[in-house]
Structure 1
Amino acid sequence: MPGGLDHIVHAVRDLDAAAEAYQRLGFSVGARNRHPFGTHNRIAQFDGFFVEILTVAEPDKIEPHRADAFSFGAFQRDYLARREGFSMLLLASRDAEADARGYAAAGIGAGEIFSFGREGQRPDGGIVKLGFSLAFARDPLSPDAGFAVCQHHHPENFWNPLFQVHANGARAAKAVVMTADNPTDHHIFLGDFTGLRDLHASSIGVTAQTECGDIDIVEPVSFRDQYGVGVTADAGGARFAGLRIAVDELAVVERLLQQNGIGATRHIDRLVVPDLCGATLIFEKGMVR
């Protein structure tokens, strides 16, 4: 069964410019990493969760989708042809093979396991080995939203408290927020994707409370009411719209953003950055479970 939130992919057209924008927001962002399948990334890491700022840098290396295999690179390329923003959510996995079998049994599987490795760099400059296995899921009503689980094969080499210190006091991801015209249309998929059967449904949306952060699917009007940002309904179903981030003190974030010329608004005890390369970042005080 999948675990809590592991990471979210923020697909951007200019990787270094987007990373600089995250740094101006007060995040510590790692160096550029190169994947053998055409994408490059830079990472902002928290305790148990990270934002993967990603671009398609070597399109000639991207493999096409096949009947038995979902192509991570092709999905990101096609997403970026339409927009920038949060493109894919990945949950933590203890056993990607088992999760893939579960997704296939539920009718939401998207092909075979995708495993790869790369080198990583420790804060002291040392090089370490990293490895990942992804099992993809597909919401047939939301073709523009990617879903997967991620199993870390060398977690001791990836997670590092020194990478998790941010000038804005960010500590954790509280929730990933999606918007949909009819959130309840995605209730069954969300349950199958997370492995949770006790979802919270209300008049404004559906929430899956994972062991590390929530997944909210809300109507566009509710997103506007809660975060002060207008979003348009997507005929392609649910899409990722915002990331709620727990910080130590909102006043610290607010001063830092003002110093760095970042536009943000206060809204219901939250500090909202409405358009960071197509995504909304929502800062709020507190911690996740």
Structure 2
Amino acid sequence: MPVITGLDHVILAVAALDPARDTWRRLGFTVTPRGRHIGWGTANYCIMLEADYIELLGVLDPTQFDNGLGERLARDGEGLLGIALATRSADSAAAAFDAAGAGGEPARDLARLLDLPQGPVQPSFRLAYPARRDAFGLSLFATEHLTPGLLRRPDWERHANGATGVLRLDLPNPLAEAALAAWAALDGARREGDSVVVGDFTLGAGDQPLLHIATSDLDACESALRAGHVAHARHPGEIRVPPLPGAGLALRFAG
């Protein structure tokens, strides 16, 4: 059984959390209640899909530790911040990063408060990071879920646009060249032409950052985009959406 089993989530840096949440709702997604990282000044909203998810990460309290997010937003604006890979064991993932030549830091625990109507709950995780943070071309770590039931709720995984999962992320060159070479060395990854596949997720190269999302119904997806007054272009088998505030990268819905 490979240590890295696929994608856990894609992380997008957003300048303002609530407007970003509203943008993703207009795209036809169900968005979870807000989560707050314990002891940090950051918070998030998540779009839960069948096996992975998209995290909208922003600064809630700039007087607290934000892991460099505020500086990054000021420098580069909104958009792709990093990728979390899925693992059953963060400790094994740390060893896998080391074996891939990136070094492995000891796994660490993280928790956040998720504000539900009935009161906050505390999803918990164990995370593994490579010692060389630039080894994979972008921010990358592995996540072991300690409380998966707190995030996996059927009503959060139903979306008006029919979205079911993240298929692929395209990175622009030269970023893609460095990332692909390093990813291919990970336990659980395989090279396929100019892409690397991990589980059901593909990392590839493109002209611009592009997030590919599977949908079970392109007609429903287009209806949701029209209802949200979102500009889009439909082509055979796909719908494309240009970068929007609160997303920072282009989206492709594939049917």
Q: Where on the TM-score scale, by shorter chain, does this alignment land: which range?
A: 0.7 to 0.9
Are the counterparts in 1 of residues 170 and 210 from structure 2 also a CA contact under 8 Å? yes
SS at match of 1:22: helix
- Match for 2:192 among 200, 213, 227? 200
Q: What's the counterpart of residue 79 of structure 1?
A: 72
Q: Following TM superposition, by how much is the alpha carbon of 1:39 offset from its aligned partner in structure 2, in angstroms? A: 0.6
Specify every segment of 5 or more residues in structure 1 that has no aligned partner in the other structure, as ranges: 63-72, 221-230, 232-240
Q: 1:148 to 1:193 in 2, by over 3 A?
A: farther
Matching residue of 1:271: 239
Task: Say if 2:136 and 2:183, in contact at 8 Å, map to a contact too.
Answer: no
1:29 is matched with which residue? 31
Equivalent positions of 1:245-264 (< 5 A) are 245-264=213-232
Q: Say whether residues 1:153 and 2:146 are aligned partners.
A: yes
Residue 59 of structure 2 corresponds to which residue in structure 1?
A: 56
Answer 1 or 2: higher relative contact order, Cα 8 Å, separation at least 6.
2
* Structure 2 match to 1:162: 155
| RMSD over aligned Cα atoms | 2.2
Q: TM-score, normalised by structure 2?
A: 0.87
Verify: 1:172 aligned to 2:142, yes or no.
Answer: no
CA shift digits 1:124-174 (9 cap, x unpaired): 7365431111112333473xx211111101112221222101111111111
Distance 1:162 1:219, change over 3 A: closer
Q: 1:267 to 1:78 in 2, by over 3 A?
A: farther
Residue 235 of structure 1 corresponds to: none
Indicate the SS of the match to 1:20: helix
Distance 1:186 1:54, change over 3 A: closer
Asked if 1 retains the 8 angstrom alpha-carbon contact of 2:188 and 2:198, the reply is no
Cα deviation, 1:209-252, whole Å, max 9, x if unaligned, reads 22232222x142xxxxxxxxxx4xxxxxxxxx121111122122
Partners of 1:41 and 1:11 in 2: CA distance = 9
Q: Who is 1:136 aligned against? A: 129
Comparing 83-92 with 104-113, greater Cα deviation is found at: 104-113
Q: Which ranges in structure 2 are unaligned for 5 or more consecutive residues?
A: none
Asked if the contact 1:121/1:127 (under 8 Å) is kept, the reply is yes
Aligned to 2:111: 117
Q: Which residue of 2 aligns with 1:46?
A: 49
Q: Is the 8 A contact 1:47 1:161 kept in 2?
A: no
How many angstroms does 1:10 deviate by? 1.1
State the identity as a percent: 28
Taking a change above 3 Å as real, the CA distance of residues 18 and 191 of structure 1, as seen in their structure-2 partners, is same
Q: Please report the TM-score for the alignment, with normalisation by the length of structure 1.
A: 0.78
Change in Cα spacing, 1:280 to 1:154, as seen in structure 2 (3 Å) is same
Q: What residue number does 1:226 align with? A: none
* Aligned 8 A contact 2:4 2:93 in 1: yes
Q: What displacement does 1:11 show? A: 0.6
Report how many aligned residue pairs link the two structures.
247
8 Å Cα contact 1:11/1:80 also seen in 2: yes
Give runs of aligned pairs for residues 103-114 of structure 1, distance below 5 A. Answer: 103-109=97-103, 111-114=105-108
Letter in 2 for 1:139: D
User: Is the contact between residue 266 and residue 272 of structure 1 (CA under 8 Å) also seen in structure 2?
Assistant: yes
- Larger % of strand: which? 2
Q: Distance in 1 between matches of 2:235 and 2:172?
A: 18
Q: Contact conserved, 2:88 with 2:144, CA < 8 A, in 1?
A: yes
Rounded Cα–Cα distance in structure 1 between residues aligned with 2:15 and 2:93: 31
